[in-house]
Structure 1
Amino acid sequence: GQDALSLSVNRAVVEKGKVVVVAAGNSGDDQSTVGSPGAAARAITVGAVAEWSAPTGAPNHSDGVYLAYFSSRGPTLDGRTKPDVASPGVTITAAQAGTTSGYVTFSGTSMATPFVSGTVALGLQAHTSWTPDDVRSAIEGTAQDRGPTGKDNDWGAGLLDGYGFVARAEGTTGLTAFPANTRVQGTVADHGTWTRDFTVGSGDLAIPIGATIIIDGAPECVLGFPGFCFEYNWGPDLDAELLDPSGTVIASSTCAAGAECGIGRQETLHAMPTTAGTYTIRVSPYEGDPFFGRGGSFGIDLSTGPVGGSPPPPPPPPPPPAKTMHVGDLDGTAVRNANKRWTATVTIRV
């Protein structure tokens, strides 16, 4: 945040009273990938997420909510938390430059940033005396938290809530109805398997399942020689799968080797549910080179239906084993109890 461009952003905010909204960048899931001018202390820096509202089959459909793997992360080199907020930046349809009727669909934090800029403009129209600090406070204060509690270096303060921000600017209240979010911490043993079950109701089949898995660890050199490294991978290397109620794998994430991958710090699962019932997230360490089955800990943000409701409950425990009742002493093992009298109604199905 001490480069010329970042310092210029800071001066525009402090000396000219401008609200500066910038993209975090698309350098991926490793720590401290946010670049200039996103690292500027006074900028409102925007990360990218996938959202859920476009219909299945539309060019701008994405199975959100999940954090885009390419979205740059903090902290800055001087230790500040970035990004500041996250907004839709996966398969966003916008007007095509140089045309009068064309549209394009792209992904990137540059597609996410206009959502925040437009929201800020609406808020300033409603509250013309707000300062840049007031705007930042309201943007972060109305964001719907994701990731660890509070502002963090992946999601920032959380998901942009345009309705909530403008309502605060107008002096009223309100918020956007997002899909339910469940925050889960997990640990998988070396060569082991970790699972988490969750329920999707029949009324929530139009809402995508999205899981953002951030792995605790560090970048480790996988190709190099003493004193120099050509290639780093995030260690440990954990893979994830999403299973439907029949046990069929409907989504998988195998970073850093698969699609939608950066350095391998984030695994991403997303799919449209097709049937109500119990779904399962399964996490296991990659058994191959370079970490050979090493386990580790991770955090999951799980997004599902209902929209605007509570997180889905875990599935009920299995029923206890059926008890055997001897009726009419058919096997000759009953014991007569002369001191007690009881009655019961028994239905026998053959």
Structure 2
Amino acid sequence: MQSHTQADAHTRALMDSFASVVGPLVAPGESYALLDFPDHPNVGDSAIYTGELEFFDAHVGRPAAYVCSLTTYRRDVGAFCPEGPLFIHGGGNFGSVWRKHQLFRHAIMEHYRDRKVVQLAQSVHYAGHDGDTLEETKRLIGQHPDFTMLVRDTPSYDFVQTHFDCPVQMCPDAAHYMWHLPPSAAPDHTVLSLLRADKEKTNPDIRPYLETVGPVADWEPQFKARTPTDRIVEKLLAPALPRNAALMRRREAMYRRQAWYRVHYGIRLLSGGALIVSDRLHAHILTGLMRKEHISLDNMYGKIRRYIDAWGPDGLVTQVSDLEALKAALAEHTGAQ
């Protein structure tokens, strides 16, 4: 199908773009750290992390020497990764909306001014009333001699250029590096909707309508528990033995497992609809990687529209902005009135 051919070419182009930006920042075989593992239910963040792993495995040829989540970081990067760049996981949480992640970045910038620090591709958004967080970010970036910012869309690029004193480059989302994700099963529903239930949600009139069309869900996986040994590593041994390289390798492998588990959950969920409707960026990206047609709404600050404006449509997406446009798109796709 022509749309599938366009989707394949689109993904290949974004993979090449990602590699052209991130590749020069770390040499093959070089030691590196990957910080801020997304240990939470948002499948999109795990898709980004998995794409980052796919790139680093192919380009660097070795796993990260140090990994951590918000809760496992102990200011111990140097014990495991004494040299090489520090990469901070990409996503859509740079700014004031998701404060814990921003404070973590602030800590990394402040504690590791002697290291190359790279913020992988992010969407940037500061709420108008939160000037304190912005000023603190400005100060820490301005004081860091080797901080590089990668962003996923043009408004983020313009914002960084205006407010921060650091190199900035446009870079697509790492999730494209998973290349192709076949659906796990035939669809059970003509239309399946995946709508945000968090602070980024918008369009309150759309959910009630979509509930009349088909199932409405969000990322709500029931995660497999870590193995008993994993729990011991995280809760007891790792903090007690901060220089144990074997435990760090086990943590890195555990994070890989957890990220892939969440991605596979997302694939199973999205496989349930012949047509997907969503206001999540990674429903758009994952559904595109699955070569499925989908209708894209948007979040509170236009994240999905900004991303598609920057990198182009994949040949499978229909963008809508309100209820009437959504109804028209559904009628066109399904023949429903």
Give TM-score scaled by structure 2 length. 0.22
| Higher helix content, 1 or 2 | 2
* More strand, by proportion: 1
Higher radius of gyration, 1 or 2: 1
Larger RCO (CA within 8 A; separation ≥ 6)? 2
